[in-house]
Amino acid sequence: MRLRCDRISIHCILLSMKYNQVTIKDIARELGISPSTVSRALKDHPDISPETKKAVNELADKLNYQPNIVALSLRQSKTNTIGVIIPELVHFFFSTVISGIEDVAYSAGYNVIITQSNESLQREKTDIKALFNSRVDGMLISVSRETSNFDHIDNILAKGVPMVFFDRVYENSNSSRIIVDDLSGAKEATLHLIEQGCKRIAHLEGPPNLEITKQRLEGYKQALQEHNIPIDPSLIVACPLGTIEEGKKATEILLAMDEKPDAIFATNDPAAMGSMQAIKEAGLKIPQDIAIVGFSNWFFTALLDPPLTSVDQPGFEMGQEAAKLLIRQIEVKSKNHDVELQPETKVLKTRLIVRDSSLKKGKKK
């Protein structure tokens, strides 16, 4: 069989398909063979000759042929695509989580669709609906700080879509989660400040509805209680947005007290950075007057003056573990649609990175 294909016909088909996806029928028409032969050639079927396979694959590459994912999913009930919803793309921690997700997903033959809620409940609802309508095989979700009602998530879970929550999770007995030990991380940070001789340790508290906020507050309180330091509610200042600006304003409230704090444990690094700005503008020194510890270990923490002590979260590992768990659930579900997935929870350890912002005694761990 002589295959028909020339430059002029390829150019014509490219023009005609400018705004439409190239199909198997287009390739078949250009080569003068049947669509079924093209389909089998693309799948490397043994009944198709090497010459035909070569011609089909070369033309498919030239025409930038892509399989119709929707059509495939309707036939196979699987798209090999997972959806990811994160609160913010610019957040350093979440960017490392995404790297971990992609590392595992692409190795396992899955594509990744990433969306951001931008800390909006309404955007989160829209993203979940869009991912569901795109027929993703499963979703990885870190909820927005506005999310306190989970009906939109329950609706998708009820449809049997595998979901794994990471970092900011849905506290539901039927949901799978990958989290870090926020309580232990916050406790270690506060204990470190106590070891430095600090007695009036303030805490910049994150979004009140998030479990990570509750865990970090609890870790802070436990450290104080273990050393018989009274918990002073006036030293716990709300910082729900966790921004540099908000951290600065929260610290200005603390600095206006008659008896100022001698240390601050912030819910995250941007808030801690805002604290540092406020302290410097007040003419005070870090850590001599006020020691500072943040949470997350953003990339800029080591570049600050002084470098910021922070609790390191294993973002890349969290992404890897979340993707592994979701893909495992997807594979189980693809073999038996009626199977009820068993929820799993994995807790990752944190690590305190001690830098100059907290070293009143001048020695590192």
> What are the residues whose beta carbons fall under 8 Å from the beta carbon of 212, sequence distance 6 or more?
167, 168, 179, 182, 206
| Tokens, residue 165 | 């929550």
Asked if the model's pLDDT at residue 330 lies above 60, the reply is: yes
Q: What confidence category does residue 61 fall into, taking pLDDT thresholds of 50, 70 and 90?
A: confident
The three-state secondary structure class of 98 is helix
User: So what's the pLDDT on residue 91?
Assistant: 78
Q: What confidence category does residue 172 fall into, taking pLDDT thresholds of 50, 70 and 90?
A: confident
pTM: 0.75
Element holding 135 (H helix, E strand): none
Average pLDDT over residues 79-100: 92
pLDDT, tens only, 296-324: 999 899 999 999 999 999 999 999 999 99
CA distance 117 to 132: 15
Name the CA dihedral angle for 79, 85, 86, 89, rounded to a multiple of 10 degrees. 60
64: alpha, beta or left? (left if phi > 0; alpha if psi -120 to 50): left
Q: What confidence category does residue 39 fall into, taking pLDDT thresholds of 50, 70 and 90?
A: confident
User: So what's the pLDDT on residue 271?
Assistant: 97
Residues in the chain: 365
Asked if the model's pLDDT at residue 100 lies above 90, the reply is: yes
Of 148-152, 247-251, 290-294, the range with the lowest mean pLDDT is 148-152
**Cβ 94 vs Cβ 119: under 8 Å:** no
Query: What 8-state DSSP symbol labels residue 307?
Result: P
**Residues 168-186: b if buried by 16+ CB within 10 A, e if exposed:** bbbeeeebbbbbbbbbbbb
User: So what's the pLDDT on residue 254?
Assistant: 97
HSE of 263, CA atoms in CB hemisphere, 13 A: 25
User: So what's the pLDDT on residue 69?
Assistant: 53
Percent of the chain beyond pLDDT 90? Answer: 67
User: So what's the pLDDT on residue 337?
Assistant: 72
Closest CA to 112 of 134, 143, 145: 134
In order, the DSSP letters of 279-303 are HHHTT--TTTT-EEEEEE--GGGGG
Of 6-10, 80-84, 197-201, the range with the lowest mean pLDDT is 6-10
Asked if the model's pLDDT at residue 279 lies above 90, the reply is: yes
